[in-house]
C-alpha cells in the first residue's frame, strides 16, 4: 500500500536555496540526465511509455507516445517546447515547481530533448510571474556554466540550448498550437490540426509540446524505473501528481499524491471546509472541467474516475466553493474569463461567449426573463465543438454544469439579484473578521 | 453593435499615436538586435522585444513599434497586431508600480472584488488608469496561478498572497510613499519598468531573493513529513507477481 501523499517533485521545495544548482545536485540532481545520455533515445521513449506517464497539462495524452510521433526522418530540426503558460483558472502547481526547483525542469528537458533528438528547447512561461522567470533564467544560466547545457553536455557529445521565453498575457497561449504561433512572434491563435505539432510545429518543424509537470516527472522515472512509477496510482492512471486545492478549505495548498486520491481525502488534508460551512461545488481540474458536488467526494481523482463522473481530471486544480457562494456569480465570472480570453479567431467562440456573458449578467442582476435558462443552454449547444480549440468548450462546460447542478439558482435570477440570495461579503475569506481589518 | 456594452474589461483600441515621446536610443537598438539573435528565427523575439520597449518607454510607444518592425524586417502593422493582442502590453503609460487584483471566480468570491473596489476608491482611479503622480496603475487581472493563496494581488508581476483590505491598504500606502515593499513569494519590489526588462530577458540579479516556496506550496509536504509518508523506495517494491495477485 502506498502512502496517501508521495512527495517526489515537491520533496525538496522547503529546503534553503532549493532553486540553486548546488542544492539540487546535493539531492542527487542531474544523475538521471547523465544516465539517460548513456541510453539510446529509443530506449528512453520506451521507458517513459512503459511507465505510462500521461500528460499533466490537462489532456492526459501519454507522454512517451507523443515523443514517438516525432518523425526522425524529417530533415528539419526537432524542437522541444515546455508549456509553462499555466493559466487555467485553479491551476497553480507549475509555478511553485519552477520557483522552488527549476533544475528539475531543466534536467527533464535535457532527457526529453535527447530522446526526441532535439538540440533547441524552449520554456514558454507566462509573463505575469516575474520571480519564477528570474529563477528559470538563473537555473538555465547555472546549467550552462556547469556544462549541463550548450556543447557536449556531460562530455557525452550531445548539444542542447534552452531559451527561457516570457509570454505577454494571453490564456489562449496555453493551447499548444497558439503557443507555437506566439513563440513565432505572432498573435497567439490556435492552428487547424492536422498537421499536428509533432509533424509541423514550431517553424513548421517537428515539435513536442509538453507541460512543465510532465517533463519534470521524467528524471524520477529514469532514476527509479517504470515499476517504481507504476507502483503508484491506479490501473490506468499511473504515478504521482500534484493536486492543487484552493478556495474555502482551512489550509489550501499543493498535495502530491498517487493518482486516484479522492476529494474527500484532499479536503481532509486541507483541514476541512471553512468553519461553519459546507462544500457546495468544486472544479476537478480547472474552470474548463464541469463542476462536481458533494456526491462526487469519493470518486478516484484519476483520468478514468473523473471522466466517469462526467467531467475531466484536467490539471487537478481543485477549486473549492462553500455554501455562501452564488453559482450564478461564479459561472458569470468564469464565462467572463473565456469571453475576455477568446482570441477572436473562431466566430462561435468570439460571439458566443459574448452573448453568454450578457445573459449571465442579467441572471446576476435578477432581471433575466423566463426562457433565458434554455437560451443559455441553446447558445452553449451552438458553441461547443465548433471552434479550432477547446477554449469555448470550457465556457460551455461552465454553463451546462452549473445549470445542471444549480438550475433553481438560475431560475431565481429572473426575479432576485444573486447578491441578495448570497450576500457577497460572506464568501470573502476575511468576512468572519469583518470586511475591514 | 456599436453602442455601450457593459464589460469588466472596457479597454480596447490601438497604440496611442498622439503620444510620440520615446527614450529608445542606440543602446536599446543594440539590445533589441541581441534579443532577435537569441532565437533560431528572429521574429520569435518579438514578444521579448516589446517587453523591452515597455521597460524603456513605459508603454508600447509608436517608436517602439517602428523599431521592432525595423529590426525584424516586418511591417509596423504586423508588430502592432501583436502588441494589441496581449494584455501585458500597455497602450498608455503604466505607473511606476503596476498593481493587479485577481477577480477570476475564486479570487473574486474570496475577496478580490472587495479588494479591487477599495483600491479604486483609495487611489481615486478606475481600472486601467494611472494615478496623476504616475506612481500606481491599476488592473483587474485574471487567474495568476496562485489560487492556493487567494485572494491574490500583484505588484509589477510579483505575488502578494492572502490579501485582506488592511494588507492591501498598507501595500498601496507604501508604494505611494516609495517605501520598501517585499513580495510574499519573491523579491523586493523595484518598478514595473525594471520588471519588464527582466521579462525581456535581461536578468536583474534578484533570483536569490525570497523563499524557496510559500506556505501553501509546502502544505502537503509538511503533512507527509509529520506522518512519515513518502514515495515508495525503488529497491523494496513488491515483486510484479505479487502486485498482480493483489489485483
Q: What is the mean pLDDT of chain A?
A: 96
CA angle, residues B220, A311, B113, in degrees to nearest 5: 65
pLDDT value at B245 more than 70 = no
CATH of the domain at B172: 3.40.30.10
Q: How would residue B237 be classed by pLDDT, with cut points 50, 70 and 90? A: confident
The three three-digit cell numbers of residue A196, written as one number: 499536428
The helix or strand, by DSSP H or E, that contains position A32, with its residue range, turns out to be helix A31-36
Q: What is the pLDDT of residue B239?
A: 65
Q: Give yes or no for residue B246 having a pLDDT over 60.
A: no
DSSP string, B52-85: HHHHHHSS--HHHHHHHHHHHT--HHHHHHHHTT
Residues A313-320: what's their mean pLDDT?
97
Q: Are the C-beta atoms of residues B33 and B99 closer than 8 Å to each other?
A: no
Residue of B nearest to A89 (CA): B143
Name the residue with cell 521597460: B55
Nearest CB partner across the interface for B237, out of A94, A228, A337: A228
pLDDT band at A435 (very low <50, low <70, confident <90, very high): very low
Say yes or no to pLDDT of B144 above 50: yes
Give the minimum alpha-carbon distance from B68 to chain A in angstroms, rounded to a whole number.
11
Does B113 fall in a domain? yes
The mean pLDDT of B108-122, rounded to a whole number, is 97
Q: Is the predicted pLDDT of residue A263 greater than 70, yes or no?
A: yes
Q: Which domain holds residue B120?
A: 97-190
DSSP reduced 3-state for A257: strand
Q: Is B28 inside any structural domain?
A: no
> Is B235 part of any domain?
no
Going by pLDDT thresholds of 50, 70 and 90, the confidence category of residue A437 is: very low
Amino acid A146: pLDDT: 98
Residues 120-179 of A with CB under 8 A from B: 120, 126-131, 133-135, 137-138, 141, 163-171
Q: Which tens digits make up the pLDDT trace of B39-96?
A: 999 999 999 999 999 999 999 999 999 999 999 999 999 999 999 999 999 999 999 9
Is it the case that residue A434 has pLDDT exceeding 60?
no
Packing angle, helices A327-341 and A391-412, rounded to 10: 150
Q: Tell me whether residue B210 is in a domain.
A: no
Residues B149 and B161 sit within 8 Å (Cβ to Cβ) = yes
Q: What is the pLDDT of residue A432?
A: 57
Q: Which residue of A has its CA nearest to B87?
A: A169
Residue B15 counted as domain residue:
no
A218, β-bridge pairs:
none
pLDDT for position B247 = 41
Number of compact structural domains in chain B? 1
Give the three-state DSSP class for A394: helix
Cell of A83: 508549456
Q: Is residue B125 part of a domain?
A: yes
Q: Which 175-234 residues of chain A touch chain B by CB within 8 A?
A: 182-188, 203, 223-225, 227-228, 231-232
Mean pLDDT, rounded, of chain B: 93
Distance from CA of A10 to the nearest CA of B (A): 7
pLDDT number for residue B244? 46
- CB atoms < 10 A from the CB of A22, how many? 10
What DSSP character marks residue A372? H
This prediction's pTM: 0.95
Q: Is residue B105 part of a domain?
A: yes
- Residues pairing with A163 in the sheet: A122
Helix, strand, coil tally for chain B in percent (to 5): 45, 10, 45
φ, ψ dihedrals at B216, nearest 5°: -70, -35
Task: Tell me phi and psi for residue A283, to 5 degrees.
Answer: -95, 130
Domains of chain A: 21-230 (3.40.50.11540), 240-322 (3.10.20.600), 327-425 (1.20.1440.230)
Task: Give the 3-state secondary structure of residue B164.
Answer: coil
Cell of A324: 455562501
For residue A193, pLDDT over 70 is answered with yes
Which residue stretches of chain B are H helix? 26-37, 46-57, 62-72, 76-83, 105-107, 113-123, 165-176, 192-200, 219-227, 240-246
Q: Contacts of residue B217 in chain A, CB cutoff 8 Å? A: 10, 13, 96, 99-100, 253-254
**Per the domain annotation, does B102 fall within a domain?**
yes
- Residue A415's CB is within 10 A of a number of other CB atoms, namely 9
Contact flag A14-B111 (C-beta cutoff 8 Å): no
A172: nearest Cα among A105, A136, A126, A123: A126
Q: What is the pLDDT of residues B156-180, one digit of tens each?
A: 999 999 999 999 999 999 999 999 9
CA A154, B42, A130, A247 torsion: positive or negative? negative
Q: Are the beta carbons of A100 and B203 separated by less than 8 Å? A: no
The mean pLDDT value for A182-204 works out to 97
Amino acid at each position: 500500500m502506498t502512502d496517501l501523499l508521495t512527495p517526489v517533485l515537491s520533496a525538496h521545495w522547503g529546503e534553503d536555496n532549493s532553486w540553486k544548482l548546488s542544492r539540487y545536485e546535493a539531492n542527487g540532481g542531474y544523475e538521471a540526465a547523465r544516465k539517460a545520455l548513456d541510453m539510446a533515445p529509443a530506449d528512453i521513449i520506451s521507458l517513459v511509455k512503459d511507465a505510462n506517464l500521461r500528460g499533466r497539462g490537462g489532456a492526459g495524452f501519454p507522454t512517451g507516445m507523443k515523443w514517438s510521433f516525432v518523425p526522425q526522418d524529417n530533415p528539419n530540426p526537432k524542437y522541444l517546447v515546455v508549456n509553462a503558460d499555466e493559466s487555467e483558472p485553479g491551476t497553480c502547481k507549475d509555478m511553485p515547481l519552477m520557483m522552488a526547483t527549476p533544475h528539475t525542469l531543466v534536467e527533464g528537458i535535457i532527457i526529453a530533448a535527447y530522446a526526441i533528438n532535439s538540440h533547441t528547447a524552449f520554456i514558454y512561461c507566462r509573463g505575469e510571474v516575474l520571480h519564477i522567470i528570474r529563477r528559470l533564467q538563473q537555473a538555465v544560466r547555472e546549467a550552462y556554466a556547469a556544462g549541463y547545457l550548450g556543447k557536449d553536455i556531460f562530455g557525452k557529445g550531445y548539444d542542447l540550448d534552452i531559451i527561457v521565453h516570457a509570454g505577454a498575457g494571453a490564456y489562449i497561449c496555453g493551447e499548444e498550437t497558439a503557443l507555437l504561433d506566439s513563440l513565432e512572434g505572432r498573435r497567439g491563435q490556435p492552428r487547424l490540426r492536422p498537421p499536428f505539432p509533432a509533424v509541423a510545429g514550431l517553424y513548421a518543424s517537428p515539435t513536442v509540446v509538453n507541460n512543465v509537470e510532465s517533463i519534470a516527472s521524467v528524471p524520477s522515472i529514469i532514476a527509479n524505473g517504470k515499476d517504481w512509477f507504476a507502483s503508484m496510482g491506479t490501473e490506468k492512471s499511473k504515478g504521482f501528481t500534484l493536486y492543487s486545492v484552493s478556495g474555502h478549505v482551512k489550509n489550501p495548498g499543493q498535495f502530491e499524491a498517487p493518482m486516484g486520491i479522492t476529494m474527500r481525502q484532499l479536503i481532509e488534508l486541507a483541514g476541512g471546509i471553512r468553519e461553519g460551512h459546507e462544500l457546495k461545488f468544486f472544479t476537478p481540474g480547472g474552470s474548463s472541467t464541469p463542476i462536481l458536488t458533494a456526491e462526487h467526494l469519493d470518486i478516484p481523482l484519476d483520468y478514468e474516475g473523473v471522466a466517469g463522473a462526467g467531467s475531466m481530471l484536467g490539471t487537478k486544480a481543485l477549486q473549492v466553493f462553500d455554501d455562501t457562494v452564488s453559482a450564478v456569480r461564479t459561472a458569470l465570472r468564469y464565462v467572463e474569463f473565456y469571453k475576455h480570453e477568446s482570441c477572436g479567431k473562431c466566430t462561435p467562440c468570439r460571439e458566443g461567449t459574448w452573448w453568454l456573458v450578457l445573459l449571465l449578467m442579467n441572471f446576476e442582476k435578477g432581471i433575466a426573463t423566463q426562457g433565458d435558462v434554455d437560451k443559455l443552454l441553446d447558445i452553449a449547444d451552438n458553441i461547443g465543438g465548433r471552434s479550432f480549440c477547446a477554449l469555448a468548450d470550457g465556457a460551455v462546460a461552465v454553463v451546462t454544469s452549473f445549470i445542471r447542478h444549480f438550475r433553481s439558482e438560475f431560475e431565481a435570477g429572473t426575479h432576485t439579484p444573486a447578491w441578495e440570495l448570497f450576500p457577497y461579503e460572506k464568501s470573502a475569506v476575511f468576512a468572519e473578521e469583518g470586511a475591514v481589518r | 453593435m456599436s453602442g455601450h456594452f457593459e464589460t469588466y474589461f472596457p479597454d480596447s483600441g490601438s497604440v496611442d499615436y498622439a503620444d510620440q515621446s520615446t527614450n529608445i536610443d542606440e543602446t536599446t537598438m543594440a539590445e533589441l538586435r541581441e534579443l532577435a539573435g537569441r532565437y533560431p528565427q528572429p521574429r520569435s523575439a518579438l514578444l521579448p522585444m516589446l517587453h523591452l520597449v515597455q521597460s524603456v518607454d513605459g508603454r508600447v510607444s509608436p517608436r517602439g513599434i517602428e523599431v521592432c518592425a525595423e529590426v525584424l524586417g516586418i511591417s509596423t502593422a504586423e508588430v502592432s497586431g501583436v502588441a494589441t493582442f496581449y494584455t501585458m502590453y500597455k497602450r498608455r503609460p503604466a505607473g511606476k508600480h503596476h498593481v493587479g487584483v485577481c477577480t477570476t471566480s475564486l479570487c473574486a468570491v474570496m475577496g478580490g472584488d472587495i479588494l479591487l473596489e477599495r483600491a479604486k476608491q483609495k487611489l481615486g482611479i478606475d481600472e486601467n488608469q494611472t494615478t496623476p503622480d504616475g506612481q500606481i496603475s491599476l488592473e483587474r487581472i485574471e487567474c495568476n496561478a496562485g489560487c492556493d493563496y487567494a485572494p491574490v494581488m500583484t505588484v509589477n508581476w510579483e505575488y502578494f498572497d492572502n490579501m485582506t483590505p488592511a494588507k492591501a491598504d498598507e501595500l498601496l500606502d507604501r508604494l505611494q510613499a516609495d517605501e520598501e515593499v517585499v513580495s510574499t513569494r519573491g523579491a523586493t519590489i523595484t518598478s514595473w519598468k525594471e520588471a519588464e526588462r527582466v521579462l525581456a530577458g535581461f536578468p536583474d540579479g534578484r533570483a536569490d531573493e525570497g523563499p524557496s516556496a510559500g506556505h501553501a506550496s509546502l502544505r502537503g509536504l509538511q503533512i507527509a513529513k509529520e506522518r512519515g509518508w513518502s514515495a515508495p523506495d525503488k529497491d523494496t517494491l513488491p515483486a510484479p507477481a505479487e502486485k498482480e495477485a493483489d489485483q
